Structure 1
């Protein structure tokens, strides 16, 4: 669940859930307190309206006692001059947070409260106000704060008096105070519970993926990229975890590429060093022979110098390959594209290559089936590098006493296809897909006759692809290999007049 959705849900939950639970608490506590009021004060079927109306409530829980007093006044008003009877009445009223006051004439005759009530007595209604007071009584405010019920009495001796039921506001309905206290506590508990639940819900939705992210960052900090960060859900943090996992994969790929790159560089240096050592050793040997006078005839001197020259060419070729390899890695191969006539170009190229192959006892055959005016757009120098690298590779793996290399140039529609075939040792089927990879060798063994930098065919593939062409190979182990590559022909586009 998305974090935005969680916050929206939390917003509504924190509003409606406390309201609902508070309503339930109010109903429960209210019913309990109403039952308590009914049992304590003898009020039949009290309601929530009764609780909300203090005057009505006070009137009800003293009403029965007031009616009994009215009956007694009708039968024998002088009973209200009997202090023992008044004490009995006052004792009943005390259980209802009330007490009794009797006034005879203008003086206080009886007080059911031991405390000083002079201030209250002065505020009591005068004789004759009974009919002006409602059945609920009257409220006396100011410093007194009490509910008063009045009953006027005419004693048999001709004196007048009033009997009052006084209910203290501060002592009225402890159940209401208890209800308010319980509701305040319930509301606090409900808010704490709701807030705690929502906090844990949102926290768990965030903390779990954050812990995964923290663990993942620690792994990356320690250089460990061999872990998987699984993310479930469609929330924002899960999306961040998925992005983090993609970043980890990219970092791991980059690290593996760097390791591979470093290994290839080390292998290249090793290969070049090995291949340079052989011609340098030969050059030193022949130079020492010349210095020691071993080449004492013109024929020997010519042979020594020619051998030194050939070995120097081998070293130059290796150095050129190394330089070109660095340009491949930085995509800075210096191409100079021009229009090249296929027939003229390959005729010159074959003539140059043939002289070198002849000295190695390898027969060269050349067939050009393309039209004499066929043209391609290519870099002549780099295309020559392609041909020389392929032929050099064929010569390197030539295992026959009499070798041959067959070069065929064909017209295949919009392309020129060049085929370079040899009768060397061939390539196993399992190795065909890897021959253009850097440093890949079909023969793991290495000696001076089959050395090389290991990047010759990868250079060939790069050049052909940069020309918009394609290269592939077919071979049969023990029989020979055929290298194919195609280049798109150049065609004049007519301009509409």
Structure 2
């Protein structure tokens, strides 16, 4: 889940959850308090709507008392002057936050509360016979009175008019309603706090946990420790950031490993070149000392010594050229010069050069071309010759037959031209064959071998062929010989339609 989606959900939750939970709790608390009010004040039919109307609520509290007062005034008007009876009735009214006033003529004969509280009400009491005051709903007295008054008119036994009033102070709320309001406020505050805490924890956990992991990962990377893994916890912005950090870690690790490998290979190359340079340098030094000491005292010996010095110097030059070319390979600075080459013409020239070179070394050479005359390839002539030269030199290096032989074959294989270089040398073991194109890999592990070489000849070959868009591989049988194959894509002219 995206962080944006989480924030939207959090916003909607903060907005809707308190409303839903608050409404539910208000309903439950309201039902409970209504039940308590009805039981306490002996009323029925109370609803949330009636509770929200203070006049209706206060009126309902004294509804039963009003009917009792009507009955008592009608049946026993003499009791309306009995202080004990009036006091008992007033006590019941006080339980309902109301009190009793009794008037005889125009004189108040009973006041069921403090006069200080009753004066403002007494001053506003209606006269006898008001139809609107004799209903059970009562009338509202404003001003300083702020009371709901229910009036019962009657006649005393001596013929005087009388009125009894049930007075309810509208400024006093039912305690249960006050508790309900407090409970509602407390519940809403609790719900808001609970919702905020839950959502804060949810967002914090979804953000801080990945951040802590990435912080630890960044610390490890800073300290150079790259051998760990960052696993994204979710498919969101934080997860993608973690994946980017993991990709960076992998790339840094690969770069470090590549640098270590490069340093190791460079050291190995330098060691190999240094070792292989010792042999020709020692020979040159020995033959030069022989000339200086007069050992070459005949023209034949002098010529032999000079030729040997030249050959050893040429070996040194070959090793140095390989080192130079190796550095160009590693920095991708091989100077390619691609041209369209006729397969027949090019490989006939190569075969002629190889024939002369191998004949001088008493190696039998065979050339076989199975390609049509018009077949062409796009290649760098100089680099392809380097490929052939390196493969042939590698074959000669490991030749162990008394009658060495190398064959060059050129074949048409569909969209490619396939070149094969076959020798009858000692062959390559099956376990070594997959590795022969790796840098510095040598089937004879000992550097004391007389074969020499830097160990990068075939890796150079593979690099050049791959840069030409081709492929190289080998087959071999021990004690029988090895065949190297590489392919070059044909050049195909695209017709232009006018």
Q: TM-score range by the shorter chain?
A: 0.7 to 0.9
| Aligned-partner SS, 2:363 | strand
Q: Do structure 1's residue 200 and structure 2's residue 230 form an aligned pair? A: no
| Aligned-partner SS, 1:472 | strand
Q: Which residue of 1 aligns with 2:84?
A: 84
Q: Partners of 1:167 and 1:496 in 2: how far apart? A: 109
Change in Cα spacing, 1:395 to 1:40, as seen in structure 2 (3 Å) is same
What per-residue deviation string (whole Å, max 9, x for no partner) do you get for residues 386-419 of structure 1?
222112212221234x241323243436655443
Q: Which residue of 2 aligns with 1:34?
A: 34
Q: Which residue of 2 aligns with 1:117?
A: 117
| Aligned-partner SS, 2:431 | helix
Q: How does 1:31-180 map to 2 (within 5 A)?
A: 31-114=31-114, 116-117=116-117, 119-128=119-128, 130-133=130-133, 134-156=135-157, 159-180=160-181
Q: Partners of 1:436 and 1:216 in 2: how far apart? A: 37
Q: Which residue of 2 aligns with 1:222?
A: 223
Change in Cα spacing, 1:370 to 1:30, as seen in structure 2 (3 Å) is closer
Q: Do structure 1's residue 263 and structure 2's residue 264 form an aligned pair? A: yes
**Cα shift at 1:94:** 1.3
| Aligned-partner SS, 1:336 | coil
Q: Is the 8 A contact 1:396 1:449 kept in 2?
A: no
Q: How does 1:364-379 map to 2 (within 5 A)?
A: 364-369=364-369, 376-379=377-380
Change in Cα spacing, 1:282 to 1:448, as seen in structure 2 (3 Å) is farther
Q: Partners of 1:100 and 1:489 in 2: how far apart? A: 120
Change in Cα spacing, 1:37 to 1:418, as seen in structure 2 (3 Å) is closer
What per-residue deviation string (whole Å, max 9, x for no partner) do you get for residues 30-53 of structure 1?
222222222222213433343233
Q: Is the 8 A contact 2:351 2:408 kept in 1?
A: no
| Aligned-partner SS, 2:394 | helix
Q: Partners of 1:71 and 1:491 in 2: how far apart? A: 123
Farther off after superposition, 144-153 or 5-14: 5-14
Q: Partners of 1:197 and 1:417 in 2: how far apart? A: 71
What per-residue deviation string (whole Å, max 9, x for no partner) do you get for residues 220-274 of structure 1?
3333333333446544444444444444434333333232222212211211122
Q: Is the 8 A contact 1:275 1:448 kept in 2?
A: no
Q: Which residue of 1 aligns with 2:461?
A: 460
Q: Partners of 1:53 and 1:376 in 2: how far apart? A: 101
Q: Where does the alignment leave 5 or more consecutive residues of structure 1 unmatched?
A: none
Provide the TM-score with structure 2 as the length reference: 0.87
Q: Which residue of 2 aligns with 1:274?
A: 275
Q: Is the 8 A contact 2:438 2:458 kept in 1?
A: yes
Q: Which residue of 2 aligns with 1:420?
A: 421
| Aligned-partner SS, 2:137 | coil
| Aligned-partner SS, 2:164 | strand
Q: Is the 8 A contact 2:296 2:302 kept in 1?
A: yes
Q: Which residue of 1 aligns with 2:407?
A: 407
| Aligned-partner SS, 2:428 | coil
Change in Cα spacing, 1:115 to 1:437, as seen in structure 2 (3 Å) is farther
Change in Cα spacing, 1:487 to 1:160, as seen in structure 2 (3 Å) is closer
| Aligned-partner SS, 1:449 | coil
Farther off after superposition, 30-39 or 211-220: 211-220
Q: Is the 8 A contact 2:229 2:246 kept in 1?
A: yes
Q: Is the 8 A contact 1:130 1:152 kept in 2?
A: no
| Aligned-partner SS, 2:472 | strand
Provide the TM-score with structure 1 as the length reference: 0.87
| Aligned-partner SS, 1:427 | coil
| Aligned-partner SS, 2:116 | coil
Q: Which residue of 1 aligns with 2:391?
A: 390
Q: Is the 8 A contact 1:343 1:370 kept in 2?
A: no
**Cα shift at 1:198:** 3.4
Task: Provide the alpha-carbon RMSD of the alignment.
Answer: 3.2
Number of equivalences: 495
Q: Partners of 2:446 and 2:199 in 1: how far apart? A: 69
Farther off after superposition, 21-30 or 485-494: 485-494
Q: Partners of 1:267 and 1:418 in 2: how far apart? A: 31
Q: Partners of 1:495 and 1:163 in 2: how far apart? A: 121
Q: Partners of 2:418 and 2:76 in 1: how far apart? A: 140
Q: Which residue of 1 aligns with 2:299?
A: 298
Q: Which residue of 1 aligns with 2:182?
A: 181
Q: Where does the alignment leave 5 or more consecutive residues of structure 2 unmatched?
A: none
Q: Is the 8 A contact 2:132 2:139 kept in 1?
A: no
Q: Is the 8 A contact 1:473 1:483 kept in 2?
A: yes
Q: Which residue of 2 aligns with 1:22?
A: 22
Q: Partners of 1:49 and 1:464 in 2: how far apart? A: 92
**Cα shift at 1:117:** 2.9
| Aligned-partner SS, 1:429 | coil
Q: Partners of 1:350 and 1:416 in 2: how far apart? A: 16
Change in Cα spacing, 1:376 to 1:120, as seen in structure 2 (3 Å) is closer
**Cα shift at 1:282:** 2.1
Q: Is the 8 A contact 1:154 1:161 kept in 2?
A: yes
Change in Cα spacing, 1:146 to 1:310, as seen in structure 2 (3 Å) is same
Q: Do structure 1's residue 447 and structure 2's residue 439 form an aligned pair? A: no
| Aligned-partner SS, 2:473 | strand
